[in-house]
Amino acid sequence: MGSASDSAEQRVTPSSRRKLVAILYADMAGYSRLISRDDQGTLDRLRNLRRELIDPAIEEHAGKVVQTGGDSLLVVFDSIEGAVRCAVKIQDEIPSHDGDRAPDQAIRFRIGINIGDAIADGTDLHGDAVNVTARLQAECLPGGVCVSRSVRDHLHGRLDLEFAELGALRLKNIARPVEAFAVQLVGAKATHVARPSLQDHAQLDLQQLRIFFTVVKLGGISQAADRFGVSPASIGGRLLELEQSCGIVLLHCSDSGVTLTDAGQLVFDHAERVFSQADELQSVLRNLSSVRSGKLTVGGSLTAGEFFLPQVASRFRTSYPEITLSIVSDNSTAILGMIRQADLDIGFIGTDAISRDLDAIPCWHDEIVVIAAPHSSAGVQPMNVIDKREFVMREDGSATRQHIEKFLRSRGLSTTTAMTVSSPEAVKRYVAAGIGWGFASRHSVATEVAAGQLEIVHIDGWNCRRTFYAVLRNGYRLSESQASFVELAKALDQ
439-456 confidence digits (pLDDT tens): 999 989 999 999 999 999
Task: Give the mean pLDDT of 301-312.
Answer: 90
Task: Give the mean pLDDT of 397-415.
Answer: 90
Which distant-in-sequence residues (6+ apart) come within 8 Å of 400 by Cβ? 301, 303, 350, 368, 394, 424, 439, 440, 441
Q: Is residue 311 part of a domain?
A: yes
Residues 309 and 440 both lie in one domain? yes
Residues 298 and 357 both lie in one domain? yes
**pLDDT above 90 (res 12):** no
CA separation (Å) from 214 to 136, 206, 406, 417, 460? 26, 12, 40, 43, 57
- Summary mean pLDDT of the chain: 82
pLDDT value, residue 124: 65
Task: Give the mean pLDDT of 323-327.
Answer: 90
Q: Is residue 3 part of a domain?
A: no
**pLDDT above 70 (res 198):** no
Q: Single out the residue in 261, 287, 313 at which a domain terminates.
A: 287
Task: Give the mean pLDDT of 378-395.
Answer: 91
Q: Is residue 7 part of a domain?
A: no
User: Does this model's pTM top 0.85?
Assistant: no
**pLDDT above 60 (res 290):** no
Banded pLDDT at 183 (limits 50, 70, 90): confident
Cβ-based neighbour number of residue 256 at 10 Å: 8
pLDDT value, residue 270: 84
**pLDDT above 80 (res 6):** no
Q: Of the ranges 27-41, 287-301, 341-355, which is most confident?
A: 341-355
pLDDT value, residue 51: 92
Q: Single out the residue in 246, 268, 287 at which a domain terminates.
A: 287
Instruction: Give the CB-side neighbour count of residue 69, counting CA atoms within 13 A.
Output: 12
Residues 305 and 441 both lie in one domain? yes
Banded pLDDT at 284 (limits 50, 70, 90): low
pLDDT value, residue 287: 57
Residues 182 and 268 both lie in one domain? no
**By C-alpha distance, which of 83, 96, 98, 108 is closest to 161?**
83
Q: Is residue 340 part of a domain?
A: yes
pLDDT value, residue 195: 41
Banded pLDDT at 283 (limits 50, 70, 90): low
Distance between CA atoms of 171 and 194, rounded to whole angstroms? 18
Banded pLDDT at 199 (limits 50, 70, 90): very low
Banded pLDDT at 203 (limits 50, 70, 90): low
**pLDDT above 70 (res 282):** no
pLDDT value, residue 230: 74
Residues 248 and 385 both lie in one domain? no
What share of the chain has pLDDT > 70, as a percent? Answer: 85
Higher pLDDT, residue 292 or 217:
217
CA separation (Å) from 48 to 45, 60, 68, 433, 441? 5, 17, 15, 64, 58
Residues 191 and 252 both lie in one domain? no
Distance between CA atoms of 295 and 281, rounded to whole angstroms? 16
What share of the chain has pLDDT > 90, as a percent? Answer: 33
256: CATH: 1.10.10.10
Q: Is residue 8 part of a domain?
A: no
334: CATH: 3.40.190.290
Task: Give the mean pLDDT of 463-486.
Answer: 88
pLDDT value, residue 404: 92
**pLDDT above 80 (res 74):** yes
Distance between CA atoms of 312 and 309, rounded to whole angstroms? 5
Residues 143 and 25 both lie in one domain? yes
Q: Of the ranges 171-185, 257-271, 403-417, which is most confident?
A: 403-417
Q: Is 132 left (phi over 0), alpha (psi -120 to 50) or beta?
A: alpha
Higher pLDDT, residue 319 or 165:
319
pLDDT value, residue 9: 39
Residues 169 and 220 both lie in one domain? no
- What phi, psi does 33 have (nearest 5°)? -65, -45
pLDDT value, residue 38: 83
pLDDT value, residue 197: 43
Task: Give the mean pLDDT of 70-78.
Answer: 87
Higher pLDDT, residue 163 or 380:
380
Q: Is residue 200 part of a domain?
A: no
Ranges of H-type helices in 50-205: 55-60, 80-98, 128-138, 149-155
Banded pLDDT at 234 (limits 50, 70, 90): confident
Higher pLDDT, residue 461 or 159:
461
Higher pLDDT, residue 25 or 241:
25
Q: Is residue 328 part of a domain?
A: yes
Q: Is residue 5 part of a domain?
A: no
Residues 308 and 430 both lie in one domain? yes
Q: Of the ranges 34-43, 282-291, 328-337, 429-438, which is most confident?
A: 429-438
Higher pLDDT, residue 129 or 386:
386
pLDDT value, residue 493: 74
Task: Give the mean pLDDT of 447-476.
Answer: 91
Which distant-in-sequence residues (6+ apart) come within 8 Å of 134 by Cβ? 25, 27, 112
Cβ-based neighbour number of residue 107 at 10 Å: 22
Higher pLDDT, residue 432 or 3:
432
Residues 343 and 237 both lie in one domain? no
Banded pLDDT at 17 (limits 50, 70, 90): low
Residues 224 and 348 both lie in one domain? no
pLDDT value, residue 468: 92
Banded pLDDT at 494 (limits 50, 70, 90): low
Residues 149 and 264 both lie in one domain? no
Banded pLDDT at 103 (limits 50, 70, 90): low
pLDDT value, residue 424: 92
35: CATH: 3.30.70.1230
Q: Single out the residue in 152, 170, 195 at which a domain terminates.
A: 195
pLDDT value, residue 57: 95
Distance between CA atoms of 413 and 450, rounded to whole angstroms? 29
**pLDDT above 60 (res 221):** yes
Split into its structural domains, the chain has a count of: 3
- 486 lies in which domain range? 291-494
